[in-house]
Structure 1
């Protein structure tokens, strides 16, 4: 896959499921299209990838966490197109709290424990985005406003997003 995404083969994508419950084997080709495709190809791939790692814009899955470092790598690479879309996807991932909200609403009932795995995905996904803070800050300092503004918005999202509810 070239110098970008070189550690993608170290992930056992076939053993993971995306945010829709489907097998996550389609994620590496989407990342590759973002890395090496033209702007139209990258935009379509980001849209498809968003469905896989942040379904409906607010539900993450087990494949989300291993995908985030690649999204950050792509967002921080000068020649990659559609940085704004990548940053908006990272913002959606960071804001997700669907499983935490569901678990909190069923806390006193027997179903609350069934959300433990999914709340772990949300917490780990948020931590993975936060781990890329230096990349996001670097893009936010870009002289290109079409890149800097979405990065600054993501930094604001990271500052403004409330902690997960206590479960």
Structure 2
């Protein structure tokens, strides 16, 4: 995959499910298109990737957390276009609490056991975004407003996101 995304092949993508509950094997080619294609193609790939890692802007999947470090790598790379879109996607991932809220609401019902894994996916995804704070802070310090403004917005999201509901 070139100098970027060297570790993407380490992940067993086909064993993971994306946010739409399908095998996550489409994620590596989308990451590659973001890294190496022209801006229009990268923008389309980010849109598709958004559906795979944060469906509807608020539902994460099993493959979301393993994808986040690659999104951060792309956002921090010099030549990758569409940094604002990448940062917006990371912000959506960070804000998600759909699975925690659903599990908390179902706590006393027979459906509670349906939410065993999903809150963990959300927590892992948010932790992965948080681990990328140095990359985001670097972008926030950029002299390029198209990078710094969305990075500062993401830092605010990270600082203001409420804790997950108690399960």
TM-score by length of 1: 0.98
Hey, what does 1:131 align to over in structure 2?
A: 131
In structure 1, list runs of 5 or more residues that go unmatched.
none
- What residue in structure 2 maps to residue 155 of structure 1? 155
Structure 2 CA distance, aligned partners of 1:103 and 1:16? 21
- 2:3 corresponds to 1:11: no
Residue aligned with 2:107, SS: coil
Cα separation, 2, equivalents of 1:39 and 1:128: 26
Structure 1 ranges of 4+ moved more than 2 A: none
Matches within 5 A, 1:28-43: 28-43=28-43
Taking the aligned partners of 2:95 and 2:130, their CA distance within structure 1 comes to 11
Give, in angstroms, the shift of residue 113 of structure 1: 2.7
Residues 46-98 of structure 1 deviation map (CA, whole Å, 9 limit, x = unaligned): 00000000000000000101100000000001110000000000000000000
Q: CA RMSD in A?
A: 0.6
| 3-state SS, counterpart of residue 110 of structure 1 | coil
Unaligned runs of 5+ in 2: none
- Residue in 2 that maps onto 1:73: 73
**C-alpha separation in 1, matches of 2:93 and 2:79:** 23
Matches of 1:7 and 1:106 in 2, distance apart?
Answer: 38
SS across alignment from 2:111: helix
Residue of structure 1 equivalent to 2:56? 56
Q: Give the total of aligned pairs.
A: 167
